Structure formats: structure tokens, C-alpha cells
Amino acid sequence: KNSSKKLLLLIHLNCLSPSVQIVVWDKYLPQTPGLPQPPHHLCKYNPCQHLQVPCAELSRASGCLCPGVTGPDVPPEPPRLQIVHTSEVGASMRWCAPSSTVQEYRLHYQLVGGDFLSGPALNNTFRLAAVSGLLPDHEYLFCIVASNRAGSSPTDDGTRQHGPCRLIRTPAHQMPYAYIAAGLAATLILVVISAFAWHFCVRNRRKHPHRGSMDNILDAEPGLDGAANSSFRSEEQL
């Protein structure tokens, strides 16, 4: 066998899909003139990476090999929803692209029991979407839908683990921890200030007793400015 000669066999499986092409390469078979040479490496394509360049563009640029995908005349398979993060009023999600030709993605969501709402169209490099304006402590169904000229991918009820949809309840409204800490600190400061004020008030009263009381007048001693009024009597004595 001559290992330096190669043959690329192209097999079209019309029974499966006219857009699916299987490439078989045997490097030990003799080279047939006129057939294209096989690529030497797989494309660095990650279907779950946000802003991922389409594999077809990578293949045209470098001659690398892309994974098999259905063509634009076949509706896309559903994307695989991976991660969903929720807050009280919003949500964000990531997904992986299907093995299909995708023109755009859309995020569809609904309050359970309500109507579906649709986000803006996202080009086929997107793997991340976000939505705001949700209600706290409510259940929502989020779905990622892929589309091309043949149609859109199907959705489900959100119970499948790696399906295109996810059923999520937003967290209940809670006071932020920063506000709680600030409130406790303010309360502690007020308590300390009140304690100091009470302490100084009591100490001042002990140092400076009230002058001019009835007992002080009756018990006064004669001085340089005159004698005490010995004829003064209290109202009780009168």
C-alpha cells in the first residue's frame, strides 16, 4: 500500500436527508484525480460558546472539518438550554447550538398561565440572552427557539433536563443585606448616644442640686447681707 496516496469518497445519503453529507477518507487507498483533498483537522468550533463564529465560516477560511449539520431547508433541531440565572425581576440564560443551520435565535417566555412574550432576534453567534421586568416569586417558562428559512425549532413544557425550555420560579422579594446592616448600625448608634446622654444628665444633677428650695430658706444661716427671716413659715405650718 502506498501511504502517500489518499482518496476521498463522498457518499450522499438521500434517504436520510438531501442536505446531509458523509465524508469517508481512507489515506491508504490510491489517490483519484479530480477529487478534493480531505481536511487535516477539525474546526475549533464550540457550539456552547457565546459569539462563536459559525463553523461554515471557519471551514471556508482554513479548510477545517465541521461536524455534520442539517441544511437551511430543514427546520432546526431545538437548542440545549444549559444555565438559567434568575433574580427577583430578571433572568439570564445560556444554551448550546443544535446540529442544524440556524439563522437566528429568540428567547420566548411566559408567566405560567399567561401569554408567551418574545425577545428580539439574536444572530446565530449568540449563546446568551437576558430578560427583565419579571415579577418576584412567580413561575415562568423560558424557551430558546432557533429558526431558519424552513421554520423554527420545537419547544416543550420545560421539564426535560437538556431541552430548549426551563420552568423557573423567581425569588421572593427580600430586603438587601446592606440595608439590614445599615439599619442595625443606626439602631446601635442611637442606643449608645441615648446611654451617654442619660449618664451625663444624671451626673450633672448630682453635682448641682436645685437651689432656692423651701428647706434651704428655712435652714439658712445669718450672713453679712442680713439675717434669715425667722418669721417665715411654710404653708403647712400656717
pLDDT, tens only, 83-113: 999 999 999 999 999 999 999 999 999 999 9
Q: Range of 104's domain?
A: 80-169
Looking at the structure, tell me whether residues 110 and 46 fall in a common domain.
Answer: no
Structural domain includes residue 23: yes
Of 169, 185, 209, the residue at which a domain comes to its end is 169
226 pairs with which residues across the strands?
Answer: 223
What pLDDT was estimated at residue 33? 57
97 lies in the same domain as 153: yes
Q: Does 146 lie in the same domain as 93?
A: yes
In a 13 Å sphere around the CA of 53, the CA atoms on its Cβ side amount to: 10
Number of domains comprising the chain: 2
Residue 155 covered by a domain: yes
Co-location of 42 and 94 in the same domain: no
Tens of pLDDT, residue by residue over 112-122, are: 999 999 999 99
Structural domain contains residue 174: no
Mean pLDDT of the chain: 78
**pLDDT score, position 11:** 36
The predicted structure's pLDDT at residue 3: 41
Q: What is the mean pLDDT of residues 224-238?
A: 49
- Tens digit of pLDDT for each residue in 147-191? 999 999 999 999 998 899 999 999 998 766 666 777 888 888 888
Q: Can you read off the three cell numbers belonging to residue 26?
A: 481512507
Instruction: Locate 31 and state its grid cell.
Output: 489517490
Task: Based on the fold, state whether residues 111 and 138 are members of the same structural domain.
Answer: yes
The b/e string for 104-141 (b: 16+ C-beta within 10 A; e otherwise) is: bbbbbbeeeeeeeeebeebebebbebebeebeeeeebb
List pLDDT tens digits, range 186-214: 888 888 888 878 777 877 777 666 555 55
Q: What is the pLDDT of residue 106?
A: 97
Residues 52, 117: one domain? no
Tell me, yes or no, whether 46 and 109 share the same domain.
Answer: no
Judgement on whether residues 56 and 86 belong to the same structural domain of the protein: no
**Residue 29 pLDDT:** 45
Q: In the predicted model, is pLDDT for residue 51 greater than 50? A: yes
Of all residues in the chain, the percent with pLDDT exceeding 70 is 68
232 and 217 in contact (C-beta within 8 Å)? yes
Question: Ramachandran region of residue 219, left (φ > 0), alpha (ψ -120 to 50) or beta?
Answer: alpha
Note the pTM of the prediction, 2 decimals: 0.60
Q: In this structure, is residue 117 part of a structural domain?
A: yes
Domain contains 74:
no
Domain boundary among 119, 136, 169: 169
Q: Is residue 142 part of a domain?
A: yes
Do 27 and 86 reside in the same domain of the chain? no
Rounded to an integer, what distance in angstroms lies between the CA atom of residue 70 and that of residue 99? 7
Please tell me the predicted confidence (pLDDT) of residue 194. Answer: 83
Does residue 234 lie in a domain region?
A: no
87 and 165 fall within a common domain = yes
Instruction: Residue 146: give its domain's CATH number.
Output: 2.60.40.10
Q: Are the CB atoms for 51 and 125 separated by under 8 Å?
A: yes
- Cα–Cα distance, 81 to 174 (Å, whole number): 28
Q: Whose CA is closest to 37, among 57, 7, 67, 65?
A: 7
pLDDT band at residue 238 under the 50/70/90 scheme:
very low
Mean pLDDT of the region 9-22: 41
Q: Please say which residue of 169, 186, 201 terminates a domain.
A: 169
